[in-house]
Every structure is written in C-alpha cells, then in structure tokens.
Amino acid sequence: MSVIENLKKGIMKSNPVLVLLLGLCPALAVSTSLDNAIGMTAAVMFVLINANLIVSIIRKWTPDRVRIPVFIVIIASLVTIVDLTIQAFSPDLSKSLGIFLPLIVVNCIILGRAEAFASKNSITDSLADALGMGLGFGLALLIISFFRQLLGTGTLELFGQTLLEVPGLLDNPMAIFILPMGAFLVMACLLAFLRYMGVIANE
C-alpha cells in the first residue's frame, strides 16, 4: 500500500473510532466540548505518531517474546511526557481532560497500531498510518463533541470564542447530551447514519 493509502485508511475506511470501534472510552468521555476534543486529539496524535515511529525503528531487533512489554513501556513513557508537558504549559486543559489523559496508555488504538502495523512495516508507512489514525480519531471526536456541545449547552465554543448560538436551546439546553448517556446516543446515531449512507461498509 502506498503512503497516501495508509494515511487515508485511518480517516475513512478503518477509522479507529467509527469503524474499528477502538478507543471508545476517551472518545465518549471527553467529547463534551470542541476544546476537549482538540486537546485529546493532539495528545493522542503525539503519542500515536511517536509510538509508531519508535516501534517501527526497533522492529527488527525487538524479540517476539517481549514485544508487548516493550511497546507498553514506550507508550507509557510517551503518555507521561505528554501529561507532564500539558500540566506545565496548559493547566486548564490538563484539568478538563483529567484522568483520561494518563489513560491514553490503555487506549487500544495506540497499542493496536504498534502491534498490528508499526511492528511489521517501514518507518514511512508507520508514520502515515499513525497520522491517518490520529486524524480519524480527531475527526470522530470533533463530530461527536460538535453535537454534544451544541445540543447539550446551546452554544458552540472554541478556545473561548463563541462560534454559534441556538437561541431556543440556550435557555433550555438538552443536558442529557452532555451526560455520558448523550455520548452513546450521538455515537449510535452517527454510526447508523454513516452506515446508511454507505460511508462505512457493512461487514
């Protein structure tokens, strides 16, 4: 597969959240606002790209028997670096992502890509794969948080700027969409819609 194909497959054909249904815990938990979605995506992308890069570089020397512990050590270190960096430079973001930032360690997208792709493919392909998967994760999070923030609070805010306000909703927001249950509702509707439109192929 070419680099472009590797990049594209993560966004559409095997989007980690919408098609592979991986990494749903952070995707559903932090998708309450666009800011959170972007912050989470940036953190996941950093970890994913670096993990794929390192795993791909050392793939020829990594003994099969210890490959999973090696991947976990690499991923956990990268996540800790991101966590400390965000705490140092953006305490507000660190507060709103809370426990889900350190929990990127157990995000199956990252270990999944390391094991299924980066440990068997060249550095360029692994980077393209990570970038595509990261963008796909971000896209899914942005779509989910768009609906949740808009319906749940009546406004759409991005970095403190109000993008959109729905007058009727502003006074009586449908708070259920901000609650965890709303995440499942939005996710289910989104998957059903994408399937109906044929964007996601049926198995």
Partner 1 sequence: MDKNTFKEDIFPILFLTIVVCIAVVALTATNGFTEKLIEDNKNEAIKENLAVLFPEMDDLQVNETIGVYTILKEGNTIGYAFEAVGQGYGGDISIMVGLENTSMAEDDIIVVGITIIDAAGETPGLGQLITEESFLEQFVGVNANDMMLSKNGGQIDAISGATISSSAVVDAIHDTMLAKAELIRELLEGGI
* Interacting residues with partner 1 (CB under 8 A): 32-33, 58, 61-63, 65-66, 69-70, 73-74, 76-77, 80-81, 84-85, 87-89, 91, 95-96, 98-99, 152-153, 173, 175, 178-179
Shortest Cβ 73–partner 1 spacing (Å): 5
Question: DSSP H helical segments within 154-202, as ranges?
Answer: 167-171, 180-196
Which residue, 88 or 197, is less far from partner 1 as judged by CB?
88
Shortest Cβ 11–partner 1 spacing (Å): 29
Distance of alpha carbon 196 from alpha carbon 169, whole angstroms? 28
Which residue, 1 or 98, is less far from partner 1 as judged by CB?
98
Structure-token pair, residue 14: 């095997």
Which residue, 81 or 164, is less far from partner 1 as judged by CB?
81
Shortest Cβ 60–partner 1 spacing (Å): 12
Which residue, 32 or 126, is less far from partner 1 as judged by CB?
32
Closest among 95, 109, 99, 135 to 51, alpha carbons compared = 109
Give me the residues paired with residue 157 across strands.
Answer: 162
Distance of alpha carbon 136 from alpha carbon 43, whole angstroms? 14
Which residue, 68 or 199, is less far from partner 1 as judged by CB?
68
Shortest Cβ 65–partner 1 spacing (Å): 5
Structure-token pair, residue 159: 């970095």
Shortest Cβ 87–partner 1 spacing (Å): 5
Cβ-count burial 92-126 (b if 16+ within 10 Å, e if not) = ebbebbeebbebbbebebbbebbeebbbebeeebb
